[in-house]
Amino acid sequence: MNPSMPPVAELVGVTQRYGALTALDGLDLAVRPGELLALLGPNGAGKSTSIGVLLGLMRPQSGQARLFGGDPQDVVSRRRIGVMLQSAALPATLRVGELLRLTASYYPAPRPLAESAALAGVDDLLTRPYGKLSGGQQRRVQFALALCGRPALLFLDEPTVGMDIEARQKLWAAIRSLVGEGCAVVLTTHYLEEAEALAQRVVVMGQGRVLTEGSVDELRGRVGMTRIRCLSDLDADAVAGWTHVTAAGREEGRLVVTTAAAESVLRRLLDADTTLSELEVRRAGLAEAFVELSRQDKEAA
Ligand SMILES: Nc1ncnc2c1ncn2[C@@H]1O[C@H](COP(=O)(O)OP(=O)(O)OP(=O)(O)O)[C@@H](O)[C@H]1O
């Protein structure tokens, strides 16, 4: 990734409304060449709408969208992208191999079919009709179709929904290998471990705006959260109400507390339960940071 190079895709001050609802609110977003950018945010934050505008599926009502410096609806730009949206209407009777050949034919320098199939893990599905595949298999085929044109930019809108853990990890490996080839990727996901595993940069959206952005480490650091885990009979709901406690709950019988003031919360925990044991204290992950950032946004709204 080279931050000094012009973005491969860009939204500048884009506002998009559906009737009275503002889905994008003066949004600025830039995707740099070769980077994996994860777009995070709660349902309705505007992630899919952003992708739709970048793809030229809708014209920005105000502001500008650029794909490779040009108009997203320009066919030359579109031949450099691969797309996997949340829903795909593909002909059910076509076989996977036929779908791949057809899609690859739209691109100037596609990958060989066997290479696309291997990357997406669909080698054993090539002769099967698309409509007869399971949901997870169909997602893998959609991924193969997205990468078969050797795109310089790949849009993946919640790509691993409906996949089992093994399929998800294989897809992650394939995404890493594409990024290794220099392909930029825009990924939306609700699986925070997915962003944590893949993203060089994370943009957190809320109500059509960018709430915050940075690397996974920067976001974690920005909210400075600590996760305390221990064996204790204290009531998690009561602990959740303590000062400085962001969240408290139970996981596998353990009390788990997230806080930005670890020392004072730890002191209070140890005072409140003298039998507390098996204490673990660690820096919070992206999930806790994300919860905290969303909470701050709600409070500010
Ligand atoms: N075609 C549409 N017509 C009317 N409202 C829409 C349409 N598409 C999206 N919206 C609304 O715009 C807002 C942003 O939706 P969008 O799908 O971009 O969010 P998202 O962040 O992708 O959400 P999710 O995580 O649920 O996929 C939401 O309030 C949604 O209800």
- Which has more pLDDT, 186 or 4? 186
CA of 44 to the centre of ligand 1 (A): 5
pLDDT-based confidence at residue 141 (cuts at 50, 70, 90): very high
Provide the residue ranges of all domains of the chain, joining segments of one domain with +.
9-213, 226-283
- Ligand 1 atom closest to Cα of residue 52: 18
The H-assigned helical ranges of the chain are: 47-54, 75-78, 96-104, 113-120, 135-147, 165-180, 192-198, 216-223, 236-240, 262-272, 286-300
Whether ligand 1 lies within 6 angstroms of the CB of 23 is answered as: yes
Distance, in Å, from the CA atom of 63 to the CA atom of 235, rounded to the nearest integer, reads: 50
Looking at residues 141-160, what average pLDDT do you find? 94
Q: What is the arithmetic mean of pLDDT over 124-149?
A: 94
Per-residue pLDDT, 297: 65
User: Ligand 1: distance of its center to the CA of 18 in Å?
Assistant: 9
This model of the complex carries an ipTM of 0.96
- Give dist(CA 262, CA 282) in Å, integer: 10
Whether 9-213 shares its CATH topology with 226-283 is answered: no
- Whether 44 is in the pocket of ligand 1, judged by its Cβ within 6 Å, is yes
226-283 has CATH 3.30.70 classification? yes
The backbone torsions φ and ψ at residue 83, rounded to the nearest 5 degrees and listed phi first, read: -135, 135
Residue 2: predicted pLDDT? 55
43 Cβ contact partners less than 8 Å away, ≥ 6 residues apart: none
- pTM > 0.90: yes or no: no
Domain topology for 9-213: Rossmann fold (3.40.50)
Quote the ligand 1 centre to 212 CA distance (angstroms): 20
In the chain, DSSP finds a helix count (H) and a strand count (E) of: 11, 13
Q: Which atom of ligand 1 is nearest to the CA of 19?
A: 4
Residues 233-290: tens digit of each pLDDT: 999 999 999 999 988 999 889 999 988 889 999 999 999 999 999 999 987 767 667 7
Residue 21 CB less than 6 A away from ligand 1: yes
Residues 228 and 279 sit within 8 Å (Cβ to Cβ): yes
pLDDT at 230 over 80: yes
Pairing of strands 226-231, 209-214: unpaired
Token representation of residue 197: 């595993």
- Please report, rounded to a whole number, the percentage of residues in the chain having pLDDT higher than 90: 68
pLDDT at residue 109, rounded to an integer: 93
